[in-house]
Amino acid sequence: MSNSIPSIELYAAPTAGSGHGDHTDAPRSFRPALVQLVLVRWREFIREPEALFWTFIFPLLLAGGLGIAFRNRPPETVRVGVLVAPRSGAHANASINVGATTVPPAALDLPAILKARPTLAVDVFTDDSAAVRALRTGAVALVVTQTQPGMAAYRFDPSRPDARTARTLVDETVQRAAGRRDPVTVQERTISERGSRYIDFLIPGLLGMSLMGTGIWSVVFSIVTARTKKLLKRLVATPMSRADYLLSFIIARFVFLVAEVVFLLGFGTLVFGVPIRGSLGSLAIVCILGAFSFNALGLLLASRAKTVEAVSGLTNLVMMPMWIFSGVFFSSSNFPSAFQPFIKALPLTATVDALRAIMLQGATLPAVAGQLGILLVWLVLSFTIALRIFRWR
Amino acid sequence: MSVTLASSAPSATCALFVRGLRKHYDDVVAVDGLDLDVPTGECFGLLGPNGAGKTTTIEICEGLTQADSGEVVVLGQRWATDANALRERLGIQLQETQLSDKLTVEETLRLFRSFYRRGRTVNDVIALVQLEEKRNARVVTLSGGQKQRLALACALVGDPELLFLDEPTTGLDPQSRRQLWELVESLKAAGRTILLTTHYMDEAEQLCDRIAIVDHGRVIALGTPKELIATLGAEQIVFFAVDPSATESLSAEALQSIASAVGAPRAPRAADGGWELQVAAPHRAIPALLGELARRGLRLAELRTHSPTLEDVFVTLTGRALRDE
């Protein structure tokens, strides 16, 4: 084998080495180490099917699932129960009652009347205990019983919104069937405007959450794994520039970012018709700044941790409040006003608020300057602290 | 054999110069006043048991660990002032680096090549470590020996003037070890300066021009393998066991008298359920030993001899075995 080794000059002085044989693979490109490091990031990412799933497929599934669950649809039907007397004894009872009271309105055929109302679904019970069970388990929202002609009893739980709706609908139907006339004529006009539906609210939230998730995890996993495998230590034993190493995460992230954002927003606009009213440029700037802030936060989280387990706990601890408070799934204004300054300072709140303002209200960059400022502060602070305390071994 | 080093400044042909190196972790002293001189072109070995301070020493020389005190001059430069220049000139293999599983052999080497301003081509080093067939294989699919050769290739791709190998064959099967030895020997033949650590005495004996035996963070012996073995003054090591096999069956006084009867410089040492005796002339010592045992009414159960090794040197110096297995 020794014949395959080119002879080398022995060490003589620090400047020696001009005699080293073949020194180049190809013409040296611009910052070869940075290019290679970015390629490595890219390869490690696309060769990890799970990472691809969590970055691209999972947000789509979430958007699709929630979009369908909360889609705008015709008014929902309410399921109610009608308790009628068993057939054999019922006739005897009814005839006795009718005979006894001779109330003018004849006994109403409640099942038929209620079934005629399109927004009501009707279950007929002949057994009281079965009706009670259905009520308790929520199978029906309300049970109506005709106690005697001209009188009805409603059984329902007023703390349940659908039960209150059921009471209104059932009562109106029964009263009209019994002859009530409404003195005022009403015209109804319903609207469903793009931009004010739940899916419109949700897509920018999911985009923000996705930027946070991939931004933080991609950095945290790579760095801490490299540290536990002593790869980080091996790399710093080479002349590799440490700045190049950290920069490679941000540059590689930029490539995934474009794919991730286009994928999710494309899905939202094509499938659900979610509007993008502001300029695409402003949207891109918010996405980039948000993604880099989360990158820097990831760098900070990964700067000392020695095991993946430790950093996973830490990362979840940091992301948890943002999942809850930052208004991804519901508006953060639901939280008490004392919490609001804290909530507004979270990077995910800033990202999601800015994305919603641009997409749904057509806001311009100056209008979201506050949010951009918050993101910039997170970016600079996290990055500076991370560089200071980073453990390279 | 001289453990004390005379010169206090590195000479022009000195690739590695270490004086009074000290390093402690919490309350453990890892390196305790260690001196080294490695001239250019030499393959120098640090031999010692696990925990002797070999890795700490080599990592200080590699610029990865800061010493508490002492002087380290590598290729005429110092870490405090010339770290960047030095990294360009060194090839390093760490003891337990796992390269990225998802990259191929070629991609890994391309990455490492990109860090150096000058170096060898990726094709060159792949051929050198005989991984041509694995060029496009992911690291995760490589065997232990192939991974180790890839790690060596990463160390060579910058065409280093000085190569540090920390326990290069630990955990490898015998065939992979032999393959790696051949590789190191070919590098030696090409005149490369190498510092390697090992706790395998056969590896040190096979590969190293000179060896420093390290124990408790100090160099306790220094020389060529031949010189070190010669310090024993023994031509053969005689192992004997008696019936019943209990090693306690011989008193210290009895052992001393056996040693003097056979003309051995030191009393026999308990080992493997028997005794080891260093003898200068086996053709005289063995009959004398048999006679002495017979005289004491002891029945010989086993008798073996072997040429002395660095293991015997270590045992003689420290009273402990090199590998506590």
Contact residues on chain A for B127, CB-CB shorter than 8 A: 4
Minimal C-alpha gap between B226 and chain A (Å): 25
Minimal C-alpha gap between B140 and chain A (Å): 12
Prediction ipTM score: 0.85
* 8 A C-beta contact, residue A318 and residue A301: yes
Q: What is the pLDDT along chain B (325 residues), one digit of tens a residue?
A: 444 455 677 777 889 999 999 999 988 999 999 999 999 999 999 998 888 899 999 999 999 999 999 999 999 999 999 999 999 999 999 988 899 999 999 999 999 999 999 999 999 999 999 999 999 999 999 999 999 999 999 999 999 999 999 999 988 889 999 999 999 999 999 889 999 999 888 899 999 999 999 999 999 999 999 999 888 887 888 888 887 655 556 777 778 888 888 878 788 888 777 888 888 888 888 888 888 888 888 888 889 998 888 888 888 888 777 665 4
Which tokens in the block code for residue B181?
């030895």
Chain A CA closest to residue B108: A40
Which tokens in the block code for residue A260?
């991730």
Which tokens in the block code for residue B240?
């004997």
Contact A237 B90 (CB under 8 A): yes
A229 close contact with B: CB closer than 8 A: yes
Q: pTM of the full predicted structure? A: 0.75
pLDDT tens across A320-333, in order? 999 889 988 888 88
Give contacts of A 110-149 with B, CB under 8 A. none
Q: What SS3 state is found at A314?
A: helix
Which pLDDT score, from 0 to 100, does residue A6 have? 40
Q: For A292-299, what is the mean pLDDT?
A: 93
Specify the CATH class of B14-224 in words.
alpha beta
Mean pLDDT over the full length of chain A: 82
Q: CA of B275: how far to CAs of A167, A263, B35, B248, B255, in Å? A: 100, 76, 35, 11, 9
Mutate one of A18, A50, A234 to test the B interface: name it (highest B CB count within 10 A).
A234
Which pLDDT score, from 0 to 100, does residue A120 have? 87
Contact B87 A10 (CB under 8 A): no
Which tokens in the block code for residue B60?
């200080």
Contact B102 A47 (CB under 8 A): yes
- Helices and strands (H and E) in chain A: how many: 15, 4
Give contacts of A 43-62 with B, CB under 8 A. 43-44, 47-48
C-beta atoms surrounding A314 within 10 Å: 17
Cα gap A84→A102, rounded to integer Å: 20
Q: CA of A370: how far to CAs of A337, A347, A374, B132, B184, in Å? A: 18, 11, 6, 57, 62
C-beta atoms surrounding A187 within 10 Å: 4
* Bridge partners for B22 per DSSP: B32, B69
Contact B159 A20 (CB under 8 A): yes
A393 close contact with B: CB closer than 8 A: yes
pLDDT band at A20 (very low <50, low <70, confident <90, very high): very low
Q: For A72-84, what is the mean pLDDT?
A: 77
Which pLDDT score, from 0 to 100, does residue B324 have? 52
Cα gap A357→A366, rounded to integer Å: 11
Which pLDDT score, from 0 to 100, does residue B21 have? 95
Of A275, A78, A219, nearest to A160 (Cα)? A78
pLDDT band at A103 (very low <50, low <70, confident <90, very high): very low
Residue A24 has pLDDT above 60, yes or no: no
Which pLDDT score, from 0 to 100, does residue B130 have? 92
Cite the DSSP H helix spans in A23-86.
32-46, 49-52, 58-69
Residue A220 has pLDDT above 70, yes or no: yes
Question: Would strands B210-215 and A78-83 be described as parallel, antiparallel, or unpaired?
Answer: unpaired
Instruction: Return the residue matching tokens 């190493």.
Output: A245
Delimit the domains of chain B by residue range. Answer: 14-224, 233-307
Contact residues on chain A for B192, CB-CB shorter than 8 A: 8
Contact B190 A24 (CB under 8 A): no
Which tokens in the block code for residue B242?
């008696």
Contact A230 B98 (CB under 8 A): yes
Contact A7 B190 (CB under 8 A): yes
Which tokens in the block code for residue A25?
């693979």
Contact residues on chain A for B119, CB-CB shorter than 8 A: 23
Which pLDDT score, from 0 to 100, does residue A30 have? 73
pLDDT tens across A225-269, in order? 999 999 999 999 999 998 889 889 988 888 888 888 998 899 889
Which pLDDT score, from 0 to 100, does residue A73 have? 59
Q: What's the sign of the alpha-carbon dihedral B146, B148, B152, B153?
A: positive
A242 close contact with B: CB closer than 8 A: no
Cα gap A345→A342, rounded to integer Å: 5
Which pLDDT score, from 0 to 100, does residue A228 have? 93
C-beta atoms surrounding B79 within 10 Å: 19
Contact B87 A48 (CB under 8 A): no
Contact B190 A25 (CB under 8 A): no
Cα gap B156→B163, rounded to integer Å: 8
Q: What SS3 state is found at A76?
A: coil
Q: For A165-176, what is the mean pLDDT?
A: 88
Contact B99 A22 (CB under 8 A): no
More reliable by pLDDT, B266 or A123? A123
Cα gap B301→B247, rounded to integer Å: 12
Burial A340-377 (b: 16+ CB within 10 A, else e): eeebbebbbbbbbbbbbbbbbeebebeebeebbebbee
Q: CA of A278: how far to CAs of A203, A359, A362, A364, A385, in Å? A: 15, 5, 4, 7, 34
Amino acid at B180: L
Which pLDDT score, from 0 to 100, does residue B208 have? 95
Q: Which helix (H) or strand (E) holds A24?
A: none
The alpha carbon of A182 is separated from its chain's Cα centroid by a whole number of angstroms, namely 45
Q: Residue B67: which region, alpha, beta or left (left: phi > 0; alpha: psi -120 to 50)?
A: beta
* Bridge partners for B270 per DSSP: B275
For B233-307, CATH gives: 3.30.70.980
Close Cβ partners of A211 (under 8 Å, ≥ 6 residues apart): A257, A260, A261, A287, A290, A291, A294, A351
pLDDT tens across A355-387, in order? 999 999 999 999 999 999 999 999 999 989 998
Which pLDDT score, from 0 to 100, does residue B245 have? 58
Who among B75, B122, B159 is closest to A8 (CB)?
A: B159
More reliable by pLDDT, A99 or B81? B81
Chain B CA closest to residue A391: B64
Which pLDDT score, from 0 to 100, does residue A78 have? 85
